[in-house]
């Protein structure tokens, strides 16, 4: 498990927040540092994930697809089979245990694809907490099924209309809320970003993924994999997949970012590749951000809402800078191709975020030998992406329906869905 140096990972990380937030961050850091090396706490966390979210998730061989590609043997780490459909539940359950110890009754969160918001709403319902979820207005439109379920679970979902109306603005609004309610509220940050100790804390809870990959690989493959591949938005699923292998130099770690439409400004969400992200300080920490000529945060694009973010985990920025993590990207077209290939060859429906890792992994696997093994972290399932997929792969049966739904307001869609489910 990677450890920070006073909140820093190389030159990245830190804590750049209003003074009002410092006591809450210090309280959280002190509690986390007290518990992170306690075997009893880790076992309590593991038991909760096993009893409630279904861990351990399986390591699934893609035998037909591997044979078709003709290269390495590909395995999927099935985080899509978690309760809530993604890896996000790992982190929120861990932070829920911390909230109980702090005695706070309200939580807030930001979300892009909606999976973290959904996981936070589920955790809050289970533990009896009040939840407010901030989500960009554009992401609400792209991921409305998750918004519907968050509200049914009792969470207050707040649409953010400013700026690009995506994850960056949702995170800003969540920080503003926390500054105004810090004494009674815990911020359940969803990815390995933000002010210390969040990057290290989120990576700690998500490290259960790579710990299981390591154990399962030894049992099912007979040795460690040659490569581990994960998509990179903020960085939580990638850090989850990579953490246990950081000292295993023979295991290559590959992070796949959203190449979008092109590498022109505003057309992608690539921060780790040379010539894209630049060091900067925003949203409480220092990392690589997409920036314009004036040094302001730049515009982003991704077909996947969960990868549509202007920054990246300071841990991944450091690991990429030092060469331990190899960055790459997948374009929207490559992603939709990989999505279809996995579905039609193996019968698994991935999230669009995860399909970035699939696209990058499939390209790499073709260049490898048949006796080599690659594990791709399937961070989530594709239920939430049904409307985006329908638009990407237009079919006659969907055309009229999508046109009709596009004309509905958010409230009308909510009422329509409620009626359909009730009826």
Q: Measured in whole angstroms, how far is the alpha carbon of residue 13 from the centre of its chain?
A: 18
pLDDT at 144: 83
pLDDT at 420: 56
Best CATH choice for the domain 8-49+87-202 from the list 3.10.180.10, 3.20.20.140, 3.10.129.10, 3.40.50.1100: 3.40.50.1100
Sign of CA dihedral 380, 218, 329, 189: positive
Strands 252-260 and 227-231: parallel
pLDDT at 273: 94
Domain chopping of the chain, boundaries: 8-49+87-202, 55-85+206-386
Would you say residue 397 has pLDDT above 80? no
CA dist., res. 268 & res. 261, Å (int): 6
pLDDT at 421: 57
8 Å CB contact between 81 and 93: no
Sign of CA dihedral 42, 44, 46, 52: negative
| Nearest partner of 188 among 97, 302, 289, 59, judged by Cα | 97
Mean pLDDT, residues 13-24: 95
pLDDT at 294: 87
pLDDT at 275: 87
pTM across the whole model? 0.91
State the Cα torsion 7-9-11-14 to the nearest 10°.
-20
Would you say residue 75 has pLDDT above 90? yes
Q: Is 366 a catalytic residue?
A: no
Lowest mean pLDDT among 11-20, 158-167, 245-254: 158-167
pLDDT tier at 412, thresholds 50, 70, 90: low
8 Å CB contact between 356 and 330: yes
Portion of the chain with pLDDT greater than 90, in percent = 80
CA dist., res. 386 & res. 218, Å (int): 36
Q: At the top level of CATH, which class does the domain 55-85+206-386 belong to?
A: alpha beta
pLDDT at 394: 62
8 Å CB contact between 306 and 235: no
pLDDT in tens, 319-376: 999 999 999 999 999 999 999 999 999 999 999 999 999 999 999 999 999 999 999 9
What is the separation, in whole angstroms, between the first and last Cα of the chain?
49
3-state secondary structure the chain: CCCCECCEECCEECCCCCHHHHHHHHHHHHHHHHHCCCHHHHHHHHHHHHHHHCCCCCEEECHHHHHHHCCCEEEEEEHHHCCCCECHHHHHHHHHHHHHHHCCCEEEEEECCCHHHHHHHHHHHHHCCEEEEEEEHHHHHHCHHHHHHHHHCCCEEEEECCCCCCHHHHHHHHHHHHHHHCCCEEECCCCCCCCCCHHHHHHHHHCHHHHHHHHHHHHHCCCCCCEEEEECCCCHHHHHHHHHHCCCCCCEEEEEEEEECCCCCCCCECCCCCCCCEEEEECCEEEEECECCCCCECCCCCCCHHHCCCCCCHHHHHHHHCCCEEEEEEEHHHHHHHHHHHHHHHCCCECHHHHHHHHHHHHHHHCCCCCCEEEEEECEECHHHHHHHHHHCCCHHHHHHHHHHHCCCHHHHHHHHHHHHHC
Q: Which of 210, 329, 379, 384 is catalytic?
A: 379
Q: Which of 79, 110, 334, 346 is catalytic?
A: 110
Q: Tell me the C-alpha to C-alpha distance, in Å, between residue 41 and each of 34, 47, 94.
A: 10, 10, 10
Q: Which of 4, 66, 84, 88 is catalytic?
A: 88
Would you say residue 317 has pLDDT above 90? yes
pLDDT at 418: 63
| Nearest partner of 68 among 340, 383, 351, judged by Cα | 340
pLDDT in tens, 273-311: 988 999 999 999 999 999 998 889 999 999 988 898 999
Question: Would you tell me the crossing angle of helices 88-102 and 22-35 to the nearest 10 degrees?
Answer: 100
8 Å CB contact between 209 and 237: yes
Mean pLDDT, residues 395-405: 57
pLDDT at 305: 81
pLDDT at 259: 96
Q: Is 379 a catalytic residue?
A: yes
Fold equal for 8-49+87-202 and 55-85+206-386: yes
Q: Tell me the C-alpha to C-alpha distance, in Å, between residue 86 and each of 57, 119, 195, 216, 272.
A: 11, 8, 24, 19, 24
Q: Is 217 a catalytic residue?
A: no
* Angle at alpha carbon of residue 306, lines to 387 and 54, rounded to 5°: 90
Portion of the chain with pLDDT greater than 70, in percent = 93
Number of neighbours of residue 154 by Cβ within 10 angstroms: 12
pLDDT at 410: 57
Mean pLDDT, residues 123-150: 92
């Amino acid at each position: 498990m990677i450890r920070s140096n006073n909140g820093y990972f190389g030159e990245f990380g830190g804590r750049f927040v209003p003074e009002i937030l410092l006591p809450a961050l210090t309280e959280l850091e002190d509690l986390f540092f007290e518990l992170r090396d306690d075997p009893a706490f880790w076992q309590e966390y593991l038991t909760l994930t096993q009893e409630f979210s279904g861990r351990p998730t399986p390591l699934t061989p893609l035998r037909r697809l591997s044979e078709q590609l003709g290269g390495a043997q590909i395995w999927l780490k099935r985080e899509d089979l978690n309760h809530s459909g993604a890896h996000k539940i790992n982190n929120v359950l861990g932070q829920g245990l911390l909230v109980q110890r702090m005695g706070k009754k309200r939580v807030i969160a930001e979300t892009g694809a909606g999976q973290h918001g959904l996981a936070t709403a589920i955790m809050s319902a289970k533990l009896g907490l009040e939840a407010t979820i901030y989500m960009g207005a554009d992401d609400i439109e792209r991921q409305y099924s998750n918004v519907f379920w968050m509200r049914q679970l009792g969470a207050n979902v707040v649409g953010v209309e400013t700026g690009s109306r995506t994850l960056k603005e949702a995170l800003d609004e969540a920080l503003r809320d926390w500054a105004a309610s810090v004494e009674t509220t815990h911020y359940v940050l969803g990815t390995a970003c933000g002010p210390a100790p969040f990057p290290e804390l989120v990576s700690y809870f998500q490290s259960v993924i790579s710990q299981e990959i390591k154990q399962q690989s030894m049992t099912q493959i007979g040795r460690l994999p040659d490569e581990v591949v994960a998509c990179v938005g903020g960085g939580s699923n990638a850090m989850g997949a990579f953490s246990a292998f950081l000292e295993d130099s023979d295991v290559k770690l590959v992070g796949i970012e959203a190449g979008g439409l092109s590498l022109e400004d505003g057309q992608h969400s690539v921060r780790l590749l040379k010539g894209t992200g630049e060091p900067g300080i925003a949203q409480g920490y220092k990392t690589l951000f997409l920036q314009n000529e004036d040094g302001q945060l730049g515009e982003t694009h991704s077909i996947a809402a969960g990868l549509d973010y202007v920054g990246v985990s300071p841990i991944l920025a450091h690991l990429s800078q030092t060469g331990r993590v190899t960055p790459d990207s997948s374009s929207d077209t490559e992603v939709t191709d990989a999505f279809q290939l996995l579905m039609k060859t193996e019968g698994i429906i991935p999230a669009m975020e995860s399909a970035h890792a699939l696209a990058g992994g499939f390209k790499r696997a073709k260049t490898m030998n048949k006796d080599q093994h690659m594990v791709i972290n399937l961070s989530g399932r594709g239920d939430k992406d049904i409307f985006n997929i329908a638009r990407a792969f237009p079919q006659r049966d969907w055309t009229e329906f999508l046109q009709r739904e596009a004309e509905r307001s958010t409230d009308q869609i909510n009422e329509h869905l409620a009626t359909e489910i009730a009826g």
